[in-house]
Structure 1
Amino acid sequence: MLHLRLIVPAGRTDEVVDLLERTVGTTHLVVLAGAARDPVGDVVLCDVAREAGDELIGALRELGVDEYGAITVEKTDLTLSAHADRAEEEAPGEGADAVLWEELTEATHEESTFSVTYVSFLAVATMLAACGVMLDNAILIVGAMAVGPEFGPLAGISTALVQRAPWLVWRSLYALVGGFAVAMVLTAGFAWLMNAFGLFDATMIEGARPNTAFIWKPDWMSFVVAFLAGIAGTLSLTSAKSGALIGVAISVTTVPAAANAAVAFSYSDYRQMTGSTQQLLANLGGIVLAGTLTLLAQKALWRATRHRRAAVRPPAQAPAGTSGS
């Protein structure tokens, strides 16, 4: 279930309450008259089944509640109520399959911001991967992949394409390209510094490296793995199962490829730099393509599910004591 807290001007409370009462899957309606102070108005509380949440939030925005008041949505981990059970049964579809597009857009918007924190995480992850590359240490590579925050902008691009929001596409692309550019430049400088201290040398990157050589040797399997990881990552975001993102992060070689390209550039090994760049682009492209197709499929399947449930829902019965004529 989702818990909604609305702030509504007193003069518009009735129409909002009427909408909530008419929405299938809504229950536990509470109106606190005059409780809000900033902005001034009534506080309206309710619970709604997740599968009905996206439609309800959209209807509330059409009424302008987000403009003249506020809409706050919280997830409830446990709700013990027969009313809630009935609301979930009446709502079309399954909660696990429902996509809250407003929540997804907001989450990817936050993760797609070109900020100091985002760039710092990406740069540190790329430097860790550089150490893994030079030491041919797979554990360091996996650790760097887990630290990298690049899935946020990738998910942002997919979400923006499906939602047809060009501004979010460009914002996410800016964070993605700009973040990797800064991280790779800093990693190249890090490699030069480590070389000056005698901790890195050319033989380390030119050696056989059986554990990490795959990073700069892309093939179709690189794209397939990235595609599958993109599906898993998108499903984890839309179903609020964020734990799966760790598995996604350590499945693709975006950060290690960027690190290998930066280190190879610092040692003028342009063959490895080219191969690593191709690996990076293949992974990024596979994730974006998979994410976009997954969201499109979820959107189509959810629409079909709602229509099917609406078609088979029995008509409401007349109250006892009334005539059907």
Structure 2
Amino acid sequence: MRLVQLTVPTGKRETILDTLNDRGIDYVLTDEDSKREYTAVVYFPLPDPAVEPVLDELQDVGVDEDAYTVVVDAETVVSRRFQGLRDEYESDDVESDRISRQELQAEADELTPTFPVYAVMTIISAVVATAGLLLDSPAVVVGSMVIAPLIGPALGASVGTVIDDEEMFVESITFQIIGVVLAIAAAAVFALVVRMTNIVPPNLVLSSVGEIAERLAPDLLSLAIALGAGVAGVVSIATGTSVALVGVMIAAALIPPAGVAGIAIAWGQPTSAIGATVLVLVNLLSVNLAGLLTLWYAGYRPESLFELGETEQRVRKRILGLVVIVLVFAVFLGGITYSTYEVGTFEQDAREEVEDVLAQEQYEDYQLLEFEVVLDNDYPFRNPQRVIVTIGGPPGESAPELLDVIHERVNRHADATVGVEIRYVEVVERG
């Protein structure tokens, strides 16, 4: 429920009151004596779905944007006529649960901080995320997401598009681009300082850090996360519910990958930064695409019907452009996913080959203790480099021919030659 406070311009009192009476809306009217061009202030409660059509109708009869209109939450309204309004406007479709277009625009503006605050908070969140990634600490990484001010710009572009507010659209796009650049640059500078001061080992292998490794070679599941974040963000803002947790989800899709890209650059491995950078870009575009589709589906349109056709054309072009770019990045992520699948298949097949060899009668005294596939560092498309097989056997005995046999069997399943290393461990059993 909402309580609307509206200043009545000179000469519009009867028109506005007639409009409210025709709608069956209860109101309270007070005289305005501020000596300005307003003669009164009218207060009236509305169900959430009624705010937008009622304000649009009042604007049609002469209440322009120069008049003050304040919409606030109302906890309880006890009125028989108000119940009639609820029956008229509230239904089970998605449009009855959303806030008005005017409130949506104000909410998007409020979620976007001033540029200095946005820049500082983005840099801080990127630095904290980088520290958490290097420490391999999920808790610290999550903390960096909480302080990231990304939800406003991430959703503002979609809001600006559907309500035909080009100024909001341009500002949001600018904030997003600058935010990505600042996050990666801040992460790179911080990681370089950390490395040069030996706070972490300078020879640290990035693939050995779990929080970093998973973002160096992202897969298609990352796309689902970004799309979900965009839809959830728009639903939360459009229904007037809390957006804090959804903001964390959007930041989760952007800040950690930006941190990983910065770390890879600081470690002098620009090719390793490719996967993380692509992940940042595809997530950012997916959030915008999901937000735009969700807002249009929810029924948000420009306030003027004359602008509807132009806005629909603009929305279609932007959706099409985003879909094409996201699909291009999705193909890249799909390639990484397929590469990961091939590595997993190779590991399974190679292990089975080793087990089959050791199951032969001449090797019955040996047993497989450990099997490991070591990948190269050619991110994001990694391939098997060598296989380490740890075999247990009787003390003082070994089977040198096993190396050639296993090497030949393992490489049946590899596209390029894979090295094989066999380690013998003496196994002593006592009855």
The bucket for the TM-score relative to the shorter chain is 0.7 to 0.9
Q: How does 1:66-105 map to 2 (within 5 A)?
A: 66-93=64-91, 97-105=97-105
What is the Cα deviation at residue 201 of structure 1?
4.1
2:29 match: secondary structure = strand
Q: Is the 8 A contact 2:212 2:260 kept in 1?
A: no
Alpha-carbon deviations, 1:237-285, whole Å to 9, x = none? 1001115x41452364210111111122122211221111011012112
Matched residues in 2 for 1:49 and 1:269: separation?
A: 57
Tell me: CA distance 1:236–1:88, structure 2 relative to 1, closer, same or farther (3 Å).
same
1:178 match: secondary structure = helix
Q: Is the 8 A contact 2:226 2:283 kept in 1?
A: yes
Q: Is the 8 A contact 1:10 1:33 kept in 2?
A: no
Tell me: CA distance 1:212–1:83, structure 2 relative to 1, closer, same or farther (3 Å).
farther
Identity of aligned residues (%): 23
Relative CO higher for 1 or 2, CA cutoff 8 Å, sep ≥ 6?
1
Greater mean alpha carbon deviation, residues 156-165 or residues 173-182: 156-165
Match of 1:229 in 2: 229
Tell me: CA distance 1:29–1:281, structure 2 relative to 1, closer, same or farther (3 Å).
same
Match of 2:292 in 1: 292
Q: How does 1:17-36 map to 2 (within 5 A)?
A: 17-23=17-23, 27-36=25-34
Q: How does 1:199-214 map to 2 (within 5 A)?
A: 199-204=199-204, 206-214=206-214
Match of 2:272 in 1: 272
Q: How does 1:107-126 map to 2 (within 5 A)?
A: 107-112=107-112, 115-126=115-126
Tell me: CA distance 1:91–1:253, structure 2 relative to 1, closer, same or farther (3 Å).
closer
1:250 match: secondary structure = helix
Tell me: CA distance 1:201–1:79, structure 2 relative to 1, closer, same or farther (3 Å).
farther
Match of 1:145 in 2: 145
2:241 match: secondary structure = coil
Structure with the larger helix share: 1
What is the Cα deviation at residue 37 of structure 1?
5.0
Q: TM-score, normalised by structure 1?
A: 0.83
Q: Is the 8 A contact 2:136 2:209 kept in 1?
A: yes
Tell me: CA distance 1:66–1:203, structure 2 relative to 1, closer, same or farther (3 Å).
farther
Alpha-carbon deviations, 1:148-172, whole Å to 9, x = none? 1212111111112223433322111
Tell me: CA distance 1:275–1:68, structure 2 relative to 1, closer, same or farther (3 Å).
closer
What is the Cα deviation at residue 126 of structure 1?
0.8
Alpha-carbon deviations, 1:30-73, whole Å to 9, x = none? 11123555564211111111111111122233344244421111
Matched residues in 2 for 1:255 and 1:15: separation?
A: 52
Q: How does 1:110-189 map to 2 (within 5 A)?
A: 110-112=110-112, 115-189=115-189
Q: Is 1:256 paired with 2:256?
A: yes
Match of 2:245 in 1: 246
Tell me: CA distance 1:49–1:37, structure 2 relative to 1, closer, same or farther (3 Å).
farther
Letter matched to residue 49 of structure 2: E
Q: Which runs of 4+ in 1 moved over 6 A?
A: none
Q: Where does the alignment leave 5 or more consecutive residues of structure 1 unmatched?
A: 301-325
Pairwise CA RMSD: 2.4
Q: Where does the alignment leave 5 or more consecutive residues of structure 2 unmatched?
A: 301-431
Tell me: CA distance 1:247–1:32, structure 2 relative to 1, closer, same or farther (3 Å).
closer
What is the Cα deviation at residue 180 of structure 1?
2.3
